[in-house]
Structure 1
Amino acid sequence: MTPEAGGPLRLRVLTLNVWNDRGDAAARTAVVNAGLRSLAPDLLALQEVLPGQLPALLDGTGLHATHQEAAHPTRPPHADRFGGTALATRWPHRIVEVLDQRGADAPDVPWLTLAAHVPLPELGDVLFIAPTSSFRPDMEAQRERQSVALSDLAARHRTALPTVIAGDFNADPDAASIRYLTGRQSLAGRSTHFHDAWEVAGSGPGHTWTADNPRAAEDIAYLIRQPGHRRRFDYVFVGSPWAHPRAYARVRSARLAFDEPVDGVRASDHYGVVADLEVGLLPPG
């Protein structure tokens, strides 16, 4: 939303893993599209999205989108099956880097990390990053490496406005990779700090990958094989004053999205997260 002259900008950020084309993909796509048109995010991160799905998902939203396949010359293994990362923004954005988080320790990660500068009215560019981390429960060491690389990416392209990061991290808040991003511990002699929007303004546990969602049941049965599995894997992070001393991004609300069925159709195996921010510049002095 455009700010009043001299006032802060109200910015809505949403992240959702759309679960590629599994299940009744056409019905799920319609639910996601209707939800996006209703929620009207300004910054949107999508995970596990196939390139051909993106136009239908965003139809009528007015958002400007980039899929990883349009931004990077290499298609990672399994991306044709599991999809990739996409971001979409209210205002035309510019991709500043595409980060491939594969490595010898994680050769099968099909999702690239997209970083874009987005011009906010009256305020200037904000760095928006859409990542996805390694998914296997036994790969926290890889997620730690990926989180350090993510903070380096943020440092390379940060602007005066607090950086916004939104995505599926496949790790709950007490994992080392998330504790590193929220400034609770160092990794490899490194440290950083971002605010977790849910921790600031969410209510309840905020589980986004949960046995309470029938769409998640198959993968939970395969990957976890324990009953009642519930985790908060999906996040919106905003940069701290220590990296952005002349600006602010206050988290005013954080809630789940796509967590209820519509006419019996569940949008995805993940619930989304939507956060409302108030972004502005501090006066000189």
Structure 2
Amino acid sequence: MRLRIVTLNVWNRQGDPRRAGLINRELCKLAPDLVSFQEVVQSPERSQLDELIHDTGLHGTHQAGILRSAPPYADRFGGNAVATRWPHHVEEVLDLRMSDANDIPWCSLAVTVPLPGAGDVLFIATTTSWRLSAEAARERQAVALTDLDARHRRTLPTIIAGDFNATPDAASIRYLRGLQSLGGRSVRYHDAWEIAGEGQGHTWSVDNPNAKAEIGAIVRQPHHRRRVDYVFVGSWDAHPKAICEVAAASLAFDRPVDGIWLSDHFGVVVDVEIRAIS
């Protein structure tokens, strides 16, 4: 079965107020089956998630609809959300705040999605700590994400997508890619861009005017470009009776529409072939 996965940090409500509608327009063109959104602001007065998926046919869940109370800063920086072509079941919402990373209001969402004729797939939408110096926290968060997968995984390979705030050579990402252990633990997921992407795949870059000022404030280096947004798929080790082959990976939302840049991140779109085997 062919699946299209999209991940995008939508940059909460900063920037031009028309961005949500334009993201929606581009999303309709992409026609994804699984979407991981980050920094989606949700309030009783306004649902940014509804604006993003309007008329797409997608079923959406925002972490605010599951949590009993909103984490600090959620009113400003939003939370994570998923959208799926078929109705999904929420398995768990995981709060990744830690003592050295308590300023992240983004909880990870694990949902099970029934794929017609193929079986159930676990889809996890996530964001990890954003500070440049927070790799130690990101390492622990990466391990927590793999534990989340282990608690709920199905026969079909798990798909994890989101803004990991870390480059491919960071320990947290190397752990997910099966290139190193963390705390005596090791796993193996396929990095879709590594398999099928062309070029560096930078998703947070000074080439994006929406990101340039923030990079100037946080990084303070003039030519900063990073790949921090990923789609990972589970490997044979955890899913011996199924296959998820990455067919294509490319950037999305990486050009202005009607003169407006759609976010401070570029998104990633990945096509996979997923199936169980006997």
Instruction: Give me the TM-score of the superposition, normalised by structure 1.
Output: 0.95
Q: CA deviation at 1:229?
A: 0.2
Task: Deviation per CA, 1:24-83: give whole Å up to 9, x if none.
Answer: 12x111210001000010000000011221111111100000000001112111010000
Q: Show structure 1 runs of 4+ deviating over 4 A.
A: none
1:281 equivalent to 2:263? Answer no
Q: Which residue is 2:58 aligned to?
A: 63
Structure-2 separation of matches of 1:72 and 1:83: 13
Query: In structure 2, what is the equivalent of residue 113 of structure 1?
Result: 108
- How many aligned residue pairs are there? 274
Look up the match of 2:35.
44
Give runs of aligned pairs for residues 1-285 of structure 1, distance below 5 A. 9-25=1-17, 27-51=18-42, 52-282=47-277, 284=278
What is the distance in 1 between the residues matched to 2:172 and 2:197? 20
Partner SS state of residue 258, structure 2:
coil
Structure 1 range deviating more: 47-56 or 177-186: 47-56
Task: Report the alpha carbon displacement of residue 203 of structure 1 after superposing the two structures with TM.
Answer: 0.2
Amino acid at match of 1:257: A
AA at the equivalent of 2:38:
Q
Can you give the 5+ residue segments of structure 1 that lack an aligned partner in the other structure? 1-8
Partners of 1:218 and 1:73 in 2: how far apart? 35
Displacement after TM superposition at 1:218 (Å): 1.5
- In the alignment, the residues of structure 2 paired with residue 127 and residue 150 of structure 1 have an alpha-carbon distance, to the nearest angstrom, of 12
Distance 1:192 1:169 in 2: 17
What is the distance in 2 between the residues matched to 1:264 and 1:131? 29
Report the counterpart of residue 3 of structure 1 in structure 2. Answer: none
* Structure 1 position 134, deviation (Å): 0.2
Deviation at 1:104, TM superposition (A): 1.1
- Residue 103 of structure 1, CA deviation: 1.4
Separation in structure 1 between the aligned mates of residue 86 and residue 197 of structure 2, nearest angstrom: 27
The 1-side partners of 2:14 and 2:56 are apart by 23
Mapped partners of 1:34, 1:112: distance in 2: 26
Matched residue SS, 1:48: strand
Deviation at 1:123, TM superposition (A): 1.3
- CA deviation vs aligned residue, 1:187-220 (integer Å, no higher than 9, x gap): 0110001000000000000000000100101110
Q: Structure 2 stretches of 5 or more lacking a match? A: none
Q: Once the 2 structures are TM-superposed, how far is the Cα of residue 100 of structure 1 from its aligned partner?
A: 0.3
TM-score (normalizing by structure 2): 0.98
Residue identity over aligned pairs, in percent, reads 61
CA positional deviation for 1:144: 0.2
Q: How much does 1:108 deviate?
A: 1.0
Distance 1:225 1:86 in 2: 30
Write the deviation string for residues 207-238 of structure 1: whole angstroms up to 9, x where unpaired: 00000100101110111011010000000000
Shift of 1:106: 1.1
Which amino acid counterpart does residue 28 of structure 1 have in structure 2?
A: R
Aligned-pair RMSD on alpha carbons? Answer: 0.6
